[in-house]
Structure 1
Amino acid sequence: MRDQGTTRGHDGTRITTREAAELLGVKPETVYAYVSRGQLSSRREPGGRGSTFDAEEVAALARRNRREPAVGSPAAGELSVRTSITLIEKDRYFYRGVDATELADRHSYEEIAEWLWTGRLRPGITFTAPESAVTVARRAVAALPEHTGPTDRLRVAAIAAATADPLRFDLSPQAVLGAARTLIPTLVAALPPLRPDHRDEGPLARRLWGRLTGRDPDETSVRALDTALGLLVDHDLAASTLAVRVAASARAHAYAAVSAGLGVLEGPLHGAAGGLAHRMLLDVLDRGTAAPVVADELRAGRTIPGLGHRLYPGEDPRARALFSVLEELPVAAPALAAARDIVSTTARHAPLHANVDLALAVLTVASGMKTTAAETVFAVARTAGWIAHTLEEYEERPLRMRPSGRYVGARPPQPLPR
Structure 2
Amino acid sequence: MRDQETASPHPERRLTTKEAAELLGVKPETLYAYVSRGQLSSRRAPGGRGSTFDAGEVEALARRNRRESAAASGSGGELGVRTRITLIEGDRYYFRGVDAVELAARHTYEEVAEWLWTGRMRRGATFDAPEAAVTTARRAVEALPEHASPADRLRVATIAAATADPLRFDLSEDAVLGTARTLIPTLVSALPQAWPERRDDGPLAHRLWTRLSHHEEPDEASLRALDTALALLVDHDLAASTLAVRVAASARAHAYAAVSAGLGVIEGPLHGAASGLAHRLLHDVLDRGDAAPVIADELRAGRRIPGLGHRLYRGEDPRARALFALLEHVPRAEPALLAARDIVRTTARHTPLHANVDLALAVLTTSCGMSAGAGETIFAVARTAGWIAHALEEYGERPLRMRPSGLYAGPKPPRPLPE
TM-score bin (small chain): 0.7 to 0.9
For 2:72, which of 44, 64, 68 is the aligned residue? 68
If the length of structure 1 is used for normalisation, what is the TM-score? 0.83
The two structures, once aligned, show a CA RMSD in angstroms of 1.2
Task: Give the aligned partner of residue 58 of structure 1.
Answer: none
Specify the alignment match of 1:250 in structure 2. Answer: 251
SS of match in other structure, 1:247: helix
Which position in structure 1 is the counterpart of 2:172?
172
Partner of 2:417: 416
Structure 1 residues 210 and 67: CA distance shift in structure 2, 3 A? closer
1:152 aligns with 2:152: yes
Read off the aligned partner of 2:72 and give its amino acid letter: E
Q: Name stretches of at least 5 consecutive residues in structure 1 with no aligned partner.
A: 1-64
Please give the secondary structure, in 1, of the residue aligned with 2:400: coil
CA contact (8 A) 2:278 2:307 kept: yes
1:163 aligns to what? Answer: 163
String of CA shifts for 1:218-247, please: whole Å, max 9, x gaps.
221111000100000000000000000000
Provide the C-alpha distance between the structure 2 equivalents of 1:156 and 1:67, rounded to a whole number of angstroms: 34
1:405 maps to 406
Provide the C-alpha distance between the structure 2 equivalents of 1:93 and 1:66, rounded to a whole number of angstroms. 23
CA distance in 2, matches of 1:290, 1:214: 26
1:248-281: CA deviation from partner (whole Å, max 9, x where unpaired): 0000000000000000012222111100000011
What residue is the counterpart of 2:314 in the other structure?
Answer: 313
Match of 1:286 in 2: 287
Aligned counterparts of 1:370 and 1:218: Cα–Cα separation in 2: 18
* 1:402 shift after superposition: 0.6
Gaps of 5+ in 2: 1-68
**Greater relative CO (CA pairs within 8 A, separation 6+):** 2
What whole-Å deviation, never above 9, does each CA across 1:398-417 have from its counterpart, x for those lacking one?
00001000111111110111
Partner Cα distance (1:211, 1:69) in 2: 47
Q: Which has the larger radius of gyration?
A: 1
SS where residue 258 of structure 1 aligns?
Answer: helix
Q: Please state how far the C-alpha of 1:68 moved relative to its aligned partner.
A: 2.6
Mapping for residues 40-119 of structure 1, pairs under 5 Å: 68-70=72-74, 73-74=75-76, 77-119=77-119
Aligned pairs, number: 350
Alignment of 1:220-299 (within 5 A): 220-299=221-300
The correspondence of residues 251-400 of structure 1 with structure 2, limited to 5 A, is: 251-400=252-401
Runs of 4 or more, structure 1, over 6 Å off, are none
CA distance in 1, matches of 2:249, 2:358: 28
SS at 1:224's partner residue? Answer: helix
Give 2:132's aligned amino acid.
S
**Structure 2: which amino acid aligns with 1:129?**
A
Q: 3-state DSSP class of the match of 2:333?
A: helix
Please tell me the residue identity of whatever aligns with 2:206: R
- 1:69 to partner: Cα distance: 2.2
How far the C-alpha of 1:66 sits from its partner, in A, is 12
The one-letter amino acid of 1:246's match is: V
1:401 is paired with a residue whose SS is coil
CA deviations on 1:304-334 (whole Å, 9 max, x unpaired) are 1000000000000000000010001121000
Contact 2:128 2:201 in 1 (8 A): no
Task: Judge conservation of contact 2:137–2:160 (CA < 8 Å) in 1.
Answer: yes
Change (3 A) 1:348 1:67: closer
User: What TM-score results when the alignment is normalised by the length of structure 2?
Assistant: 0.82
Query: In 1, Cα distance between the equivalents of 2:184 and 2:363?
Result: 25
CA pair 292-205 structure 1, distance change in 2 beyond 3 A: same
